[in-house]
Chains A and B, each alone.
Chain A
């Protein structure tokens, strides 16, 4: 029998019991669709994060925190600490250890490859307002740690960016507004807000009185995951805020910092970065690049995706049992036919092949329909998502597929189907023609 005839015969055999074939394909479809759709979401999210990371630059910029700080954060989140009381260890638990002191800052500066260190001071503001409105809005300002960061500035109707990122060394206090703030503060548009003056309310910690400080709007930010709701300010504004916050308090309060940022020489490459991280570790600090931070978000997300993929895998496993079952039934039903074909000289191998092709076809159709449905989901869901819960994140395509993954998945499912089919196919090929012809 020619291979093409084996294939067409196998497929017409599948069409003989349409209901059963359909149900088996449906089961494979469910498993394939789950896996494809989740991998699509994974690709979509990762692409977006990567794009954000790329646009943010962040090359040559590293965030530093004391190890004790991380340990505390972890034990508060319930990791690693357990319920038992932990014995106090000044090396690990003292407040002193959780802060970065001046001598350490100097030591960090001396690590080979580090070009500058900037302590991240505790900048807090009560509210933001402007002369255009009576309303006040909450705000969380943060000093831009490095000029190397390049956050996404919103684009106006003309497609040009609305303003720019604050310039760290500009003597005029500057701020970048979060999306939506321009309108809320009474400006006509994002574009209109650029260059205008806003007022920030800051509490004097010693007296709990609120003072105001003025700042120039440098630009309006796009919404982004990396931004995490922070309004960036330059050093001039940072100093003014700190002047108010720590007024009438000893200088030591003001110098107490828990985080710092450093700029390093990117010419040193990954090896240089590793060395810097090691150097920080020896001093009792952890260094994290923006990529590391995003990596944590990604790995958390990947864990969720993994769970769904496992669900899909379990569905596929169940589907392969469905294939085995379907084909065993087919072998049983077609016992006489198999016997007849063998009597007429059809070889074992061809019969095995015929049933294997039936299995592979089931796998192919199940996964191909899964791919088609997943593609349809992309076409339908992406615009809806972009208009609703992702409306604030322009450029975020929730589901994204790449052709090779899809093709590989189809091939993989076909392979699984083939493996599932080997059992019934073997039984069919081993049928004794006489037994089969006697079979009533």
Chain B
């Protein structure tokens, strides 16, 4: 089943003479449990595509389906709920509340969903255990190393048991060893929890670890490569 599907996606910025077409017609189907890399040069439209798929932004043209429902037909409330409960986000620049504790950063999505105080603490601690940072729960987010910060962000992304994790250059700000650890973490979630991964990256090594690689150039998909060995898994792709 497709978690996310897109048809004829176009996105333009600006108007008239200053108009810029960042995406020029994209079709994708992403299956449940898949790991997909969106790869391409800077400015090719990777982040724009990810934002559209994550329903953070609206396409100029085209349709997006999530769980078989057409996103543009959903009410704002439903979209918010979807993002809160089915999606998790990891960004290159971490985006944490630096002055808050690690725990309250991880708790934030649960707080937004309106989960009770006790339960959200338990679940946040569990998520921190998964990224092996439960001992840092009380530390201030700003005092962590880059790798630790990104792990906290992963804990925050998975705390609501999402179906999909969107990661925009999750290793872009990290050295290669730390980056690898983050990658391992993401792929273990993909494998163990069947969380669909959509990873935007420059890094061809990271892209190679994914089931699929979507190569974007000038707002279009140039190549859609399956991982050589695992490509037949779950009936392949259509």
Interface on A for B, CB 8 Å cutoff? 1-2, 5, 9, 16, 336-337, 340-341, 343-348, 432-434, 437
A343 touches B89 (CB 8 A): yes
> Does any Cβ of A come within 8 Å of B136's Cβ?
no
A345 touches B76 (CB 8 A): no
10 CB-based A-B contacts, threshold 8 Å: A5-B111, A341-B108, A344-B83, A344-B89, A345-B80, A345-B84, A345-B85, A347-B80, A434-B57, A437-B91
A344 touches B91 (CB 8 A): no
How many inter-chain residue pairs (CB < 8 Å) link A and B?
49
Q: Which of B91, B95, B99, B113 is within 8 Å of A345, CB to CB?
A: B113
Q: Which of B54, B57, B99, B114 is within 8 Å of A1, CB to CB?
A: B114
- Which residues of B are found within 8 Å of A344, using beta-carbon distances? 83-84, 89, 108-109, 112
Restricting to B23-74, which residues have a CB under 8 Å from any CB of A? 51, 54, 56-57
Q: What's the Cα separation between A1 and B82 when bound, in Å?
A: 14
B51 touches A434 (CB 8 A): yes
Q: What's the Cα separation between A200 and B212 when bound, in Å?
A: 118
Residue ID in chain B nearest A440 by CB atoms: B93
- Taking A1-B112, A336-B95, A345-B85 as contacts, is the C-beta distance between A433 and B77 under 8 angstroms? no
- Which residues of A are found within 8 Å of B84, using beta-carbon distances? 344-346
Interface on B for A, CB 8 Å cutoff? 51, 54, 56-57, 76-77, 80-85, 89, 91, 95, 97, 99, 108-109, 111-114
CB distance from A48 to the nearest CB of B (A): 53
- Which residues of A are found within 8 Å of B76, using beta-carbon distances? 347-348
**A1-B112, A343-B83, A345-B83 given. 5 additional CB < 8 A pairs?**
A9-B111, A336-B95, A344-B84, A345-B109, A345-B113
A345 touches B57 (CB 8 A): no
Secondary structure call for the B interface: helix
- Which residues of B are found within 8 Å of A337, using beta-carbon distances? 97
- Which residues of B are found within 8 Å of A347, using beta-carbon distances? 76-77, 80
- Which residues of A are found within 8 Å of B81, using beta-carbon distances? 345
Q: What's the Cα separation between A2 and B56 when bound, in Å?
A: 23
Best-surrounded residue of B51, B84, B85, B112 (most CB of chain A within 10 A): B112
CB distance from A434 to the nearest CB of B (A): 5
- Which residues of A are found within 8 Å of B113, using beta-carbon distances? 1, 345
- Which residues of A are found within 8 Å of B54, using beta-carbon distances? 343
Q: What's the Cα separation between A5 and B111 when bound, in Å?
A: 7
Residue ID in chain A nearest B80 by CB atoms: A345
CB distance from A438 to the nearest CB of B (A): 9
Q: What's the Cα separation between A432 and B51 when bound, in Å?
A: 12
Q: What's the Cα separation between A433 and B81 when bound, in Å?
A: 15
CB distance from B208 to the nearest CB of A (A): 27
Q: What's the Cα separation between A16 and B100 when bound, in Å?
A: 10
- Which residues of B are found within 8 Å of A432, using beta-carbon distances? 57
- Which residues of A are found within 8 Å of B97, using beta-carbon distances? 337
- Which residues of A are found within 8 Å of B57, using beta-carbon distances? 432, 434
A346 touches B95 (CB 8 A): no
B56 touches A345 (CB 8 A): no
B56 touches A343 (CB 8 A): yes
CB distance from A148 to the nearest CB of B (A): 70
Q: What's the Cα separation between A9 and B111 when bound, in Å?
A: 10
Q: Which of B82, B99, B112 is within 8 Å of A346, CB to CB?
A: B112
- Which residues of B are found within 8 Å of A346, using beta-carbon distances? 80, 84, 112
Q: What's the Cα separation between A437 and B90 when bound, in Å?
A: 12
- Which residues of A are found within 8 Å of B99, using beta-carbon distances? 16
Residue ID in chain B nearest A435 by CB atoms: B57
- Which residues of A are found within 8 Å of B108, using beta-carbon distances? 340-341, 344
Q: What's the Cα separation between A343 and B82 when bound, in Å?
A: 11
CB distance from A414 to the nearest CB of B (A): 25
- Which residues of A are found within 8 Å of B85, using beta-carbon distances? 345
CB distance from A7 to the nearest CB of B (A): 12
B112 touches A437 (CB 8 A): no
Best-surrounded residue of A2, A343, A433 (most CB of chain B within 10 A): A343
Residue ID in chain B nearest A346 by CB atoms: B112
B109 touches A2 (CB 8 A): no
Q: What's the Cα separation between A437 and B80 when bound, in Å?
A: 17
Residue ID in chain B nearest A12 by CB atoms: B100
Q: What's the Cα separation between A347 and B81 when bound, in Å?
A: 9
Residue ID in chain A nearest B52 by CB atoms: A434
- Which residues of B are found within 8 Å of A340, using beta-carbon distances? 95, 108
Q: What's the Cα separation between A345 and B81 when bound, in Å?
A: 6
A434 touches B56 (CB 8 A): yes
What are the nearest 3 A-B pairs in CB distance?
A345-B84, A345-B83, A345-B80
Residue ID in chain A nearest B116 by CB atoms: A2
- Which residues of B are found within 8 Å of A348, using beta-carbon distances? 76
Q: What's the Cα separation between A9 and B108 when bound, in Å?
A: 11
B56 touches A433 (CB 8 A): yes
Residue ID in chain B nearest A436 by CB atoms: B95
Residue ID in chain A nearest B108 by CB atoms: A344
Q: What's the Cα separation between A432 and B58 when bound, in Å?
A: 11
Q: What's the Cα separation between A5 and B109 when bound, in Å?
A: 12
Q: What's the Cα separation between A436 and B7 when bound, in Å?
A: 27
CB distance from A317 to the nearest CB of B (A): 33
A345 touches B112 (CB 8 A): yes
Residue ID in chain A nearest B97 by CB atoms: A337
Q: What's the Cα separation between A434 and B89 when bound, in Å?
A: 12
Q: What's the Cα separation between A337 and B98 when bound, in Å?
A: 10
Residue ID in chain B nearest A1 by CB atoms: B112
Q: What's the Cα separation between A41 and B220 when bound, in Å?
A: 75
